[in-house]
Amino acid sequence: MTPVLRSGVIAAVAALIADQAVKLWLLFVLDIGRLGAVRVTPFFDLVLAWNTGISYGWFQNDSPTGAAILLAIKAVAVVLLAIWMARSHTRMATIGLGLIIGGAIGNAIDRFAYGAVVDFALFHVQIGGKTFSWYVFNLADVAIVAGVIALLYDSFFGAPAVKAP
């Protein structure tokens, strides 16, 4: 395994372990389901949201068939991303792909184990008496977004030789 590929594998494993460890702690140690919302700061709460859909709760589906289809799509995506990562030549792109893979596997484990993805992070702000909230998300989602940002950064600012035909 090349050092560049190793960095992507380490990123994937780190994202997966961090995601699953936090979710397990929230579910079984803190018992977030019993507590409900836990205010951490004036703008951040820990909550429990079971996401049966995909990103941002799109395509909500509670059926076992729907969950199986989403798992199958995710498995194909992870395999394709792993092939891309194995062929990548830049550390930034490889780490970005590793983060996406680790996050995707973390959410897939939730879907397999619980039938839904465990989301828990809620940012909000109060302006003029109204509360505005962001979507509830988890560390796997953060890893996926960071991975996409790394890929975009590498695409726009990476070594020109890598982009040459």
- Within a domain: 141: yes
165 or 22: which leads in pLDDT: 22
Check 19, 110, 119, 154 and give the catalytic one. 119
**Least confident stretch, 36-45, 95-104, 125-134, 154-163:** 154-163
Check if 110 is active-site. Answer: no
- Within a domain: 100: yes
Q: How far is CA 118 from CA 3, 90, 156, 160, in A?
A: 33, 32, 33, 40
Contact indicator for 123, 113 with CB cutoff of 8 Å: no
Which residue type, as a one-letter code, is found at position 84? W
- Within a domain: 165: no
Check 45, 110, 141, 154 and give the catalytic one. 141
pTM of the model: 0.89
pLDDT at 132: 95
- Within a domain: 163: no
The mean pLDDT of 47-75, rounded to a whole number, is: 76
Check if 45 is active-site. Answer: no
pLDDT at 161 over 60: no
Maximum C-alpha span of the chain: 56
- Within a domain: 164: no
- Within a domain: 99: yes
- Within a domain: 8: yes
Number of folded domains that form the chain: 1
pLDDT at 165 over 60: no
Q: Each residue of 18-29: pLDDT tens digit?
A: 999 999 999 999
- Within a domain: 126: yes
Find the domain containing 97 and state its range.
3-157
